[in-house]
Amino acid sequence: MGNCADKTAVAMHPPRYIPPDEARRKTREGWQALLTEREFRVLRCKATEAPHSGAYNDSFPTRGYFGCRGCGAPLFSAAAKFKCGCGWPAFDKAYRGAVMTHGDLSAGMARTEILCSRCNGHLGHVFNGEHMTSTNQRHCVNSTSIRYFDHDLVLQEARV
């Protein structure tokens, strides 16, 4: 288990909460023990699920939020999710401080990777300047990286 090249699809683990200090100290082996192979590939090895294949691509709840599947940190409100047709869940803003960015040249182009600020789990990429929403941002997120929670949070949202 835990080979980043392994493409085996398996069921998802139930929701979890990992305190910030523990999430930052967790080793590769610790993540392998906690996550399914699919979750490990996406969150820790930066894999991308196939377009239009994720559980949340065509899901548009009117309340609640989406949290990190790795550590449970709240990331995006359901209200920030929008339909853009890209094949992955899209959000126009994140909870303040929940997402961090990192330059990514891995696909032969300059992109901006988004990661969970608590556990450094790979979420996807953020794109600017597409004029799809008032924030002018599209957080393109792997469904495998997130989990929906059906209750609202009172947290500030912001552009990344």
Q: What value does the mean pLDDT of the chain take? A: 88
Sheet with 146-149, side-by-side order of all strands = 74-77, 65-68, 146-149
Share of the chain above pLDDT 70, in %: 91
Q: Is the pLDDT of residue 13 over 60?
A: no
Helix spans in 17-123 (H): 20-25, 28-34, 37-43
CA dist., res. 101 & res. 109, Å (int): 16
The dihedral sign for the CA sequence 78, 99, 91, 87: negative
Tens digit of each residue's pLDDT (9 = 90 or more) over 101-113: 999 998 888 899 9
Tens digit of each residue's pLDDT (9 = 90 or more) over 38-72: 999 999 999 999 999 999 999 999 999 999 999 99
Q: Which of 68, 71, 119, 140 is catalytic?
A: 140
- Structure confidence at residue 78 (pLDDT): 97
Structure tokens that stand for 113 in this block: 């990777």
- Structure confidence at residue 18 (pLDDT): 85
- Structure confidence at residue 107 (pLDDT): 82
Assess whether 119 carries a catalytic annotation. no
